[in-house]
């Protein structure tokens, strides 16, 4: 995989940092321990992985795709990083991302865009475009992403790979640099559903260092992926969400989705149309809640506690240094979100914006609850379009935000969701993804249905 990275990554830019030495020494340690007759530390011992550059890694840079953290080397490992190391998974390096995970194309990285291996003039999705592109380009069999509004599933969809957002609280956020704490969730990127399940079981589990981590057994996702592989969905009820298709969706995406539903029916599933009327407001609620939380979380990059410091000439006040540093350290999308969020949280506007958005969030969660009384999982296209061209949406934030139309509801409700490859679009020959959504703590249903379908 290191050879493959050396061969193709200059044209893809999936990696921000490559740790050849570290990966090789971790692989050698696995070889030595197996040679001495020890049991492998996990099913993935010796299988390399690429880590989104938003998880802290002791001794390895962690930039979050931002100038403000350009030279930061964390003194500690995220829980996800620690679990990977303990499982004997060699970490090949850190992957490119939209700055602080804000974006849908990886063009908001301060270190240049990642290119889609299917067509290098197109985006690999975002914010975790580096992770999904590295899997799609065979630079690594596995990667880790984070999904706040779709950043694992949307890149998976447009790169023809598998991506899973586990139930909120299923994977620890300790050492995951926060964007929107009530939505952020780490999860697996892989080329098959079973690979994703194996990785899911390595990284999931309760963590006392994260107060929102769920103290419950890890859902049996590997068993479910193996069961699903026999392709029998008899007795499984699948809901097609009426509100997540139609106008604004490409014809090739809708055709692929219809074919996917027909295939699920052939595999024995019972297909039911369900209505989730408040999903239509998901995008609006998300773009108040996520920027609000981001404006608070990113206050720590003030040049005093964390982040780039410029203009500290002994003459300027602390406030002037903070202001100059944040001006230089953050890109335009991050600044836009901080301003939006600060406004939404300001006194006099808090109830009208943040308060209303939280109420909509509750209504969306209730839509899910009602739907899951009728069906086991819900399905929709993962994204309304295939990969768009680099530069096409960068000056139009609202067009960029639409990429997450279908993925956001699961984040707002804290549910589990997966994107699984669903063939190529008849419009442009680019990959399309099928989204599967399950109730919180029922992640195994995604793997059962996803493995049967793939």
CB 97 within 8 A of CB 333: no
Q: Does 385 bind ligand GLN (CB under 6 A)?
A: no
Q: In terms of DSSP H, where are the helices of 243-389? A: 251-266, 282-297, 318-329, 332-344, 356-374
Q: Does 367 bind ligand GLN (CB under 6 A)?
A: no
16: helix, strand or coil: strand
* Closest residue to ligand GLN using C-beta atoms: 151
Q: Does 150 bind ligand GLN (CB under 6 A)?
A: yes
83 is catalytic: no
422: helix, strand or coil: strand
As measured in angstroms, the least distance from the Cβ of 128 to ligand GLN is: 7
Using CB atoms within 10 A of its CB, is residue 11 exposed (0-12), middle (13-18) or buried (19+)?
A: exposed
E strand or H helix that includes residue 130: helix 129-136
Closest CA to 205 of 191, 221, 194: 221
Q: Does 289 bind ligand GLN (CB under 6 A)?
A: no
Q: Which of 26, 104, 161, 256: binder of ligand GLN (CB under 6 A)? A: 104
Q: Does 404 bind ligand GLN (CB under 6 A)?
A: yes
**Pick 238 or 406: Cβ nearer ligand GLN:** 406
As measured in angstroms, the least distance from the Cβ of 200 to ligand GLN is: 18
As measured in angstroms, the least distance from the Cβ of 17 to ligand GLN is: 20
Rounded to a whole number, what is the distance in angstroms from the first to the last CA of the chain?
Answer: 25
Closest CA to 130 of 97, 89, 87: 97
**Pick 104 or 131: Cβ nearer ligand GLN:** 104
d(CA 37, CA 29): 13
Q: Does 171 bind ligand GLN (CB under 6 A)?
A: no
**Pick 148 or 297: Cβ nearer ligand GLN:** 148
Q: Does 260 bind ligand GLN (CB under 6 A)?
A: no
Q: Does 419 bind ligand GLN (CB under 6 A)?
A: no
The binding track of 114-143 with respect to ligand GLN, each residue x by CB under 6 A or -, is: -------------x----------------
127 is catalytic: yes
Q: Does 149 bind ligand GLN (CB under 6 A)?
A: yes
Q: At what angle do helices 332-344 and 282-297 cross, to 10 degrees?
A: 100
Residue 351: CB atoms within 10 Å: 10
155: helix, strand or coil: helix
52 is catalytic: yes
Q: Which of 204, 290, 418, 438: binder of ligand GLN (CB under 6 A)? A: 290
As measured in angstroms, the least distance from the Cβ of 177 to ligand GLN is: 11
Stretch that binds ligand GLN, among 44-52, 83-91, 99-107, 390-398 (CB under 6 A): 99-107
Catalytic-labelled residue, pool 26, 42, 52, 425: 52
d(CA 351, CA 357): 9
Q: Which of 66, 151, 386, 419: binder of ligand GLN (CB under 6 A)? A: 151
Catalytic-labelled residue, pool 109, 127, 131, 134: 127
Q: Does 285 bind ligand GLN (CB under 6 A)?
A: no
Q: At what angle do helices 79-86 and 193-203 cross, to 10 degrees?
A: 110
As measured in angstroms, the least distance from the Cβ of 403 to ligand GLN is: 6
CB 204 within 8 A of CB 164: no
**Which two structure tokens, joined as six digits, stand for 277?**
């009327």
CB 407 within 8 A of CB 154: yes
**Which two structure tokens, joined as six digits, stand for 436?**
């599967």
**Pick 18 or 101: Cβ nearer ligand GLN:** 101
Beta bridge partners of 379: 240, 436
**Which two structure tokens, joined as six digits, stand for 24?**
């090789």
**Pick 146 or 422: Cβ nearer ligand GLN:** 146
Q: Which of 148, 167, 172, 292: binder of ligand GLN (CB under 6 A)? A: 148
Catalytic-labelled residue, pool 105, 109, 151, 295: 151
Q: Which residues bind ligand GLN (CB under 6 A)?
A: 101-104, 127, 146-151, 179, 290, 404
Catalytic positions, written as ranges: 52, 127, 151
């Amino acid at each position: 995989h290191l050879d493959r990275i050396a061969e193709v990554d200059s044209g893809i830019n999936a990696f921000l940092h490559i740790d050849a030495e570290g990966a090789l020494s971790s692989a050698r340690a696995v070889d030595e321990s197996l040679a001495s007759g020890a049991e492998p530390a996990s099913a993935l011992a010796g299988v390399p992985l690429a880590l989104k550059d938003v998880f802290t890694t002791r001794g390895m840079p962690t930039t979050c795709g931002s100038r403000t953290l350009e030279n930061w080397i964390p003194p500690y490992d995220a829980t996800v990083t620690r679990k990977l190391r303990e499982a004997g998974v060699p970490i090949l390096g850190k992957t490119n991302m939209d700055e602080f995970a804000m974006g849908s194309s990886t063009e908001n990285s301060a270190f240049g865009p990642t290119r889609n291996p299917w067509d290098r003039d197109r985006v690999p999705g975002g914010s975790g475009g580096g992770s999904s592109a590295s899997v799609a380009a065979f630079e690594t069999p596995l990667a880790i992403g984070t999904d706040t509004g779709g950043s694992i599933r949307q890149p998976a969809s447009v790169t023809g790979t598998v991506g899973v957002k586990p139930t909120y609280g299923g994977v620890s956020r300790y050492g995951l640099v926060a964007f929107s704490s009530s939505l952020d969730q780490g999860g697996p990127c892989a080329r098959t559903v079973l690979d994703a399940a194996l990785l899911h079981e390595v990284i999931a589990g309760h963590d006392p260092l994260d107060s929102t981590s769920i103290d419950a057994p890890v859902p049996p996702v590997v068993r479910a992926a193996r069961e699903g592989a026999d392709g029998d969905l008899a007795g499984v009820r699948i809901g097609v969400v009426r509100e997540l298709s139609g106008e604004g969706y490409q014809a090739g995406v809708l055709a692929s989705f219809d074919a996917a539903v027909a295939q699920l029916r052939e595999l024995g599933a019972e297909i039911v149309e369900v209505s989730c009327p408040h999903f239509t407001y998901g995008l609006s609620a998300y773009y108040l809640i996520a920027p609000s939380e981001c404006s608070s979380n990113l206050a720590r990059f003030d040049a005093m506690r964390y982040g780039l410091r410029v203009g500290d000439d002994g003459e300027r006040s602390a406030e002037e240094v903070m202001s100059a540093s944040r001006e230089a350290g953050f890109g335009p999308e991050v600044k836009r979100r901080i301003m939006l969020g600060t406004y939404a949280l300001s006194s006099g506007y808090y109830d009208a914006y943040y308060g209303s958005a939280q109420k909509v969030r509750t209504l969306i969660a209730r839509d899910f609850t009602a739907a899951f009384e009728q069906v086991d999982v819900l399905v929709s296209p993962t994204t309304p379009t295939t990969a768009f061209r680099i530069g096409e949406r960068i000056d139009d934030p609202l067009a960029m935000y639409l990429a997450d139309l279908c993925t956001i509801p699961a984040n707002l409700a804290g549910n589990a969701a997966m994107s699984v490859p669903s063939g190529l679009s008849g419009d442009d020959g680019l990959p399309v993804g099928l989204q599967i959504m399950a109730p919180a703590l029922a992640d195994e249903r995604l793997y059962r249905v996803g493995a049967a379908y793939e």
